[in-house]
């Protein structure tokens, strides 16, 4: 299994499409940061990644301290780090008044209508939820916003039409619509990451390392055999380069050394096993590459701040979501409220 497939398996993504919007010019809608909307989207999730699929028309995507990004039909725009952002028909428009998130998300996907009656833009909004620590290896190093056009891929037309069909079926009496939308959201998110990896080989971060010829070989080897007793020399041999070249390129692209990365990945796998199984610690330690319980417990404590047994007990006994944040407005009123039904 390749490194991206393996990390996506362990990260255990879950998500859905939650808004199907039709905006008519002039319009501007401001999306709050993911930390505000996360409790309503996925209670208990440590990290939520928001994304939008433009199915008709075009719009501007605006974020503080960044030039505007123009999104056209077929574009999927992802915000890996959950920043607040605005989407608008033109620059300088005040955002619409915020809808009540609880009421808006009480039935998914919610339908939004807003604007002045001009040219139409249709947007489907979705999210992916994942554990914070398990997602760090995947999301760290990504830019604040990623935009990829699904109509440029071979499978993109099928995927976009499938989303349209699933949205049309979401409110039908036939069961299974929500599950279908969830699976399509996951597929869309993963496909965008794959295309971004292919198109952006010069960027830093985990995905950039995966796209690099030398570092990518090393990452795939580490993910294929994480329990192997790796040395830098052996890993360099697999990657087809010298130890010094591998160490330098790995550090530059991924932001850590190969052996430090291996430790982080082993412990991420261990945390996943602890949270999703009742396997004994000795079995988990062996599966992720530790020869003794003592060395595993010591490494886990350094990374997670407590022994694995205590971490598992805390996870099981966690009271979970403590309640929604206070309702906030994300911008000044534009004179029109967003309608939803």
| pLDDT tens track for 81-128 | 889 999 999 998 998 876 666 666 666 688 889 999 999 999 999 999
On whether both 260 and 293 belong to a single domain, the answer is: yes
Q: Which comes out higher in pLDDT, residue 250 or 208? A: 250
Mean pLDDT of 33-45: 85
Q: Which comes out higher in pLDDT, residue 171 or 325? A: 171
On whether both 247 and 175 belong to a single domain, the answer is: no
- Segment among 13-27, 60-74, 130-144 with least mean pLDDT: 130-144
pLDDT at residue 116 in the model: 94
Within a domain: residue 205? no
* CA–CA dist 147, 69 (Å, integer): 9
Q: Is the pLDDT score of 155 beyond 70?
A: yes
Q: Which of 18, 32, 19 is nearest to 97 (CA)?
A: 32
* Final residue belonging to a domain, choices 154, 172, 200: 200
Within a domain: residue 332? no
Q: Is the pLDDT score of 178 beyond 70?
A: yes
On whether both 50 and 167 belong to a single domain, the answer is: yes
Q: What is the dihedral of CA 154, 150, 166, 37, to 10 degrees?
A: 150
On whether both 244 and 283 belong to a single domain, the answer is: yes
Q: Per the structure, how many domains does the chain have? A: 2
Within a domain: residue 325? no
pLDDT at residue 337 in the model: 40
For the chain, give percent helix, strand, coil, nearest 5. 45, 20, 35
The H or E element spanning position 262 is helix 258-276
Q: How many CB atoms lie within 10 A of CB 45?
A: 20
* Helices and strands per DSSP (H, E), number in the chain: 14, 11
Q: Which comes out higher in pLDDT, residue 243 or 66? A: 243
pLDDT at residue 330 in the model: 32
Contact 293, 282 (CB under 8 A): yes
On whether both 194 and 216 belong to a single domain, the answer is: no
What pTM did the predictor assign?
0.79
pLDDT at residue 102 in the model: 66
Could you tell me the residue range of the domain that residue 275 belongs to? 212-317
* Final residue belonging to a domain, choices 200, 227, 244: 200
- Average pLDDT of every residue of the chain: 84
pLDDT at residue 266 in the model: 94
Tokens 């099981």 sit on residue: 316
């Amino acid at each position: 299994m390749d490194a991206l497939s393996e990390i996506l398996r362990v990260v255990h993504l879950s998500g859905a499409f939650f808004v199907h919007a039709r905006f008519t010019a002039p319009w501007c809608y401001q999306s709050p940061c993911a930390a505000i909307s996360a409790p309503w989207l996925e209670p208990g999730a440590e990290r939520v990644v928001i994304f939008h699929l433009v199915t008709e028309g075009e719009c501007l995507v605006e974020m503080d301290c960044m030039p505007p990004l123009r999104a056209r039909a077929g574009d999927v725009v992802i915000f890996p780090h959950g920043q607040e952002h605005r989407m608008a028909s033109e620059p300088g428009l005040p955002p619409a008044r915020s809808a009540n998130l609880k009421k808006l998300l009480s039935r998914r996907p919610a339908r939004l209508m807003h604007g002045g009656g001009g040219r139409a833009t249709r947007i489907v909004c979705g999210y992916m939820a994942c554990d914070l620590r398990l997602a760090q290896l995947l999301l760290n190093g990504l830019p604040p916003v990623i935009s990829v056009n699904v109509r440029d891929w071979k499978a993109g037309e099928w995927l976009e039409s499938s989303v349209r069909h699933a949205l049309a079926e979401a409110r039908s009496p036939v069961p299974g619509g929500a599950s279908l939308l969830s699976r399509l959201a996951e597929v869309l998110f993963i496909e965008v990451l794959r295309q971004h990896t292919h198109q952006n080989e010069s960027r830093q971060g985990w995905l950039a390392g995966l796209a690099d010829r030398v570092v990518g070989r090393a990452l795939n080897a580490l993910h294929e055999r994480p329990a192997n007793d790796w040395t830098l020399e052996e890993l360099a041999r697999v990657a087809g380069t010298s130890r010094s070249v591998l160490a330098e390129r790995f550090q530059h692209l991924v932001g850590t050394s190969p052996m430090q990365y291996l430790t982080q990945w082993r412990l991420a796998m261990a945390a996943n096993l602890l949270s999703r199984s009742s396997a004994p610690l000795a079995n988990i330690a062996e599966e992720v590459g530790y020869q003794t319980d003592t060395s595993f417990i010591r490494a886990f404590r350094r990374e997670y701040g407590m022994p694995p047994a205590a971490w598992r007990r805390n996870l099981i006994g966690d009271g979970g979501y403590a309640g929604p944040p206070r309702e906030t407005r994300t911008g000044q009123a534009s004179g029109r409220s967003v309608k939803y039904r």
